[in-house]
Structure 1
Amino acid sequence: MINILLHRLNIFMYLSPINCFIINYHLTKASNIRIIQRNVSETNTYTKDRLPMKPSFSFPFLKEKKMLIRMMKISLFASVIPIIAVGLGSYLFSSSAIQEQANKSNIRNLSTASHTIDSSLERVQRNALQLLFGSFYSTNLQEQRQKDYAGFYSTIARDLSLFQAANTEIYDVLLYTGSDDYLLSPVSGGRRIEPEDRKIIDKELAANPNFIWTTQHYPFMAQSGEHQVTLILKVPIQAARPTGLLFISLNSHLFQNLMGSFLGYDGENMMILDADGQVVAQYGTLSGVEPPPHDLFKRIHSKAGSDSFNVSWELTNYLVTPITSNFNQWTYIDMIPIKELNKQSKGIAIMTLIIVAAFLLIGLALAFWGTKRAYRPIEKLVDLVKGNQSDRSELDEMGIVMKRWTELSQTASHLQTQVNEQKPLIREMVALQALQGHFLHYTPEQLNRQFIRYHLPSVSEHAVMIIAYDQPSGREGRFFSNEKDLILFAVKNIIQYFLQNDLHGIPIHLPDDQIAVWLWKEGETEEMDDWLQRVKSSAEHLRLRLSEYLRLPVTIGISSGFDKQREMLPRLYQEAMLALRSRFINGNDRIIYYTPPTAEPDIHYRYPIEIEAHYENSLRLGDLEEAVRMLNEFARATRGVIHKSELVDMNYYHLLTATLRTAFLLGIPSEALFTPNEEDPYIHIRNFTTIHELNDWFRDRLVEPIVMNVKGKQMEEHEAMIQTVVHFIEENYHLDLSLDQCAQLCGLSSHYLSKLFKRSMDLTFIEYLTRLRIEHSKRYLEETELTINEIAGKVGYQPKNFIRVFKKHMTVTPKQYRDSTLGF
């Protein structure tokens, strides 16, 4: 209501938009009055005889002309706000543009740094793997040590020295062979393992990966800086039970020098975090002084891609630009102080201030004039709010608006009550979101809280089945086809009854008028196989009960897997949906269990193009019987080869395109096939549940109308041809005409023309020509004094033939006919 009032008021106050603020001010005052009234009323009991509120809140300055004075004062104040807002917005926009440019530059720098460091790490990793895949380190090191003790350690020392020399990024290399308690290094030689070191080494040997990058600090390794990056590889790397470890520590100055080359702002900081949020390297003014904010890593991964954001660190606001490496999932972060970016906006701020001051003076002048113009429509506004109702209360204009606001608040309270009544529906919607995979990004703790809140199972075996009813044309059920809501209500009630007595689950109304049932097993006493058998048995009883009640075919699709992980619910839902869709081929009114697809694709299938061509030709000829036969052949070819409903849809899309193309080439308008408000036929194809129904639709809605149209056009063309022949006969009946001459005139065969002529005129060609000649000869005999021979020549006969034909049709000779007409 308030939005409508403001909209109407803006129409009247188009000359002074600042006055919108004035009305908002008064509405705020009125709203505050309403809040005070409500607090006072809540201290009393809610009874029908509640005492009326005392008029302690009155605003006499809002009445009569005093409101104009108030509006003018507020207008002078309000005119400053939009102008300052525009100036501030311009300044903020320029600052934002500068930050955006800085962000793009940072992304380029971070990408370069990431690529450089990733290349170095990948090269070290590749060289280390190449070293360990050698014949020396791929065999049993303990046996080699026993065979040649001195050569064993000299080989290791030589290889590690060459490896470290070839990779300048390496700071230290340690090798633990497992045969003794020594760590071998080309830098520090050999050192005995302490008991604490032994625990660390045993832990790394028990870990799953054969090699891993880590930022963990190892006390037995030389450290090049505050943070340490180490590559750990098991030796032999291909052994099922490795006995040794190779530790490769990188020089932290590699990261420091590289990050320092990209810093361009005072106070700028750059850091690298690993996949767990631990600092790999850090460079800048705060390097080594303060750790990064504890929520920085969480905020970075809550953003999409490399979006920048602001963060406060050590009383300084920074623009943070992150990027994540694809090699090891490290996060490269650049942090620029906001104040350094804002230094570039000072010139823009001065220019903006000058422009704001100029427009401020203009705004003040217009505020006086606009306020006077704005006051006049207020009375019209109040009348509009009142409508046809009479209000004798001593309320001012804003008081009336406050009254309407009270009515809206009561309506909102009523709606809130209705929301509380819809909690079961909300639970059903949450379950639907879980099936559709909307909670996959939730952590296990978040998902557990969500399920507990809506009384859904936290840990259990799950199954999903989807129930659909089909209403074939010509078959009547218990309900009409337009009573879908009533049908679904009845189906859900029957499902609820089964769930209360046999299984545990929740029925979910799907958008396409289907019902999904999320089932779960409660308790650990029942064996899994027994529960699965009970699910199948209950599904069959449920299907029979629904089919019997609705008097319609009911199909149930059941997922194949019964998984205990809630994250697998979307997969089970998709399996049940695919099983239900397969009724297009397998038929409806049954239970369909999901069958995993075979690995072998349908590469041997060939689209029946020859059937399609024969079908199109039958449509063009108007042969209904042959077109329907080809349609059935197409269905047989499709059903016999394809085992996926999506491919069946694709085949019928091709056939629909061929049918519509044929109709277009035949000149059949689309209105003859589909009404303007009818659903798109390509979308309508998906609504059919079986191939038989789809074929019936093709026959009734496409084939028969096209054939009827073709036959109608053929009849029109034939009528036009016959009229051409008749006209030709009437113009040339005195000549020696033949059926072949007329057939050549129409471009048809004489036999086909004879059939058409007989069908149209109900006379053969010769009969019509003879009758026409006799009629003309009768006119000549009655109206002229021409001789019989002359008349025979005029009507295309020889005299003897003329007399014979005339007597055959008229039972008298031409002379006798003339004499009878003259009265002799």
Structure 2
Amino acid sequence: MRKLNLNFFYKNLIIVFMVTCLPMAIIAASNYFIGVKQIEAEVKRNHRLQLDEIYQSMEKQLSQLEIIGNQWVFNPVFNQELLEGDLRQKPNTTRELFVSLRILKESNPLIGNAVLYLNKEQLLVSDEEGIYTITDEAVKRTFQDLQRGKSSLMWWNEPISPLKYKNNVNAALVHKVLGAGEEPLGTIILYLDKSQIDDFLYPLNPDGEGVAYILRQDGDWITKGRNQGAKAVDLDEAVRSEVIDRKLEVGDFIFNRKGISYSVTVGALSRNEWKYVVATPLSKLTSPVILVSKLGLVFSLIGLAVAVILSWLASRRIYRPVKHLVGLFKDTVGIPSTSDKSDEFQFIAGRWRKLIDESHQLETKLEQNRQSLKEGFLLQLVQGHLYFFTEMELKEKMTFHGWKASDKIFAILLVRMDRFAHNKGKFNEGDEQLATFAAANITQEVLQSSRQDAEVINFHDLSLAVIFAFPAERPREQVKSDLFHFSSELIQMLTQYTTMRITVGVGKLVDDPRDIHKSLEETRAALQFRDLDKNEEILDMDDLLPRQTIQVNYPFNLENAIIQSMKMGLRDEAVRELGHFAEQIKHNHSREMQFQQGMLQLLGSIIHELLRSGVYSSVMQSGNLYEQLSGIKDQDEMLGWLRFTIIEPYIEELSETRETILEQIVSKVTEAIQVDFHTSISLESYADQHGVTSYNLSKAFKQYTGTNFIDYLTITRLEKAKELLSGTDLKINTIAEKVGYQPTYFIRIFKKVEGITPGRYRETMRT
């Protein structure tokens, strides 16, 4: 094995030799053959590109500075109210003004100071020096002339300010602040920071051997850059004089001084007519090329010796992937223990297995949540709470939950268990939920063996339902036969296991999934026809409730729509459906007595449904409702009575009660989060616990807490985690589990929210 490693090193020695020596020799020879002149031209071109990049950068920064100023002049804090009364007597306004000026100053690194000039009171406002009144007449005239300028945005190359704040560059950007009338109420003056401008120029003259500065249009200084030694000052003046003699023309020229040739570039900034001047010694541009050409061959020889050393060091590259993996696992999983550090491969294997376990746990939790959502959807479906969805929308939801609902017909089986066998069976009184749970599992196993497209719904009261979906093209007789065969097999299995009386009701087939709950209600009501002497029985709704050949003229669908609209608090929808109901009754029954009978039937149905909701208390105290409605003869008066006596009072009381209940539920949920934050909790679980939909709870939670459920839970968990990090010596993985997170996800979410890793946070707090 040792010899094999040495052979690998020798092979790498040859490779490193070739990589190190040959390219260097080729480059050195190429430099000689190509020629220094050509390389000089290329270096100059690159130097010009560097100048263009810095020019574009300065143009971009100046443009951003103008945009920032234009945006801030429309800030509501700079309003006409600043001119009303003594600004010094308005602490809140002054404080807000100082804060705005400070924010404006910090919004762009080029801004050295932001000052507001108010024309009416001759005031200068600065967050550094407060409010200053201009007393000097010459300064007043200067600021007034600036105020009367034609442009609302201008560059001011000779700023005058009586403030103690010393501006280190004679340049500023001026924005007029418009008032209520045509005259501006003042100006915002953005003084430029010399050090920031010098930062742009520094890369052009980092060693101070040349010059890099900015001039005004008249040749006066804007900034001289950082290098201010005696030699640099002389060179600055000499180059500036030459540039002024050339009338500040933009371009390149060669400038000779004291035996040194300088390549001088003069450029112009488009926004403020500044001229930037850069002078670089030609020897500085060409000397690296000559040096590289001469030393290329020398380095190629040195590379031979270095290659021998590198060949031995190349073995370390073998371990780079291993080291990289260890680093990744440390960052994502946590700090390894001492035993982990001893063997990196064992450490990686252990962490990999841990990640796989965490992945399986997350998949299990995800499947559990998905199943909970599916069960909630099915309960809402069979209870008729999804009535307002269209057929297409409801089928899309069923498809989302794993059903292929297109081109299907639906059937429902209702299974009822009762009469414990004198305590001789497997279940006794009080075991209703356990017995129903066992029956639901048995039913699920029978479905899997029969390969039926169906779902089981557990009502936890010794009854359960099974919803089937059959292809629409299958004959109904075949569907009924399959249902009876399944029912017989199910009864046999349940009777054998539970020793209880089993009754199965086979509901009518429906094409629209919105009618599934109607079929279930009919089946539940029809179970009262079961034979008390039979322990096993199948009831077919098509036999008990045959299809009617006589058309029923009562609009049951509109009645259901009115009731559903009221229960959901939809006032306008309920009133509109009431009008449609009256039109349908009037169309089917033209006589007054028949119309009144239809309205009384509607009243009875409404009272029956709304009494079940427990909210219909105030309206019931208004006397005999049937007698009141019977005493009304006019059709329009009947509609008005139903609307203002029944519908609207109920919806108002429902709205008030619902808001109070939701607020109480949100309060209970926030309290529960403080206790259960370390467990696997979800919005859906709390919604089921308090009997509301997850949508309504989410909306109410956002309304009363100002944040959504996930963010609130995350903040709570991270606050608890920070307490443990700063107050205990627990491991990060242990803290993650105590606050309800997997270690990998905990580190990622902590860094996303807090900006640092948990380990770094602990070090910072302890420091």
Structure-2-length-normalised TM-score: 0.29
Structure-1-length-normalised TM-score: 0.28
Q: Select the structure of larger CA radius of gyration.
A: 1
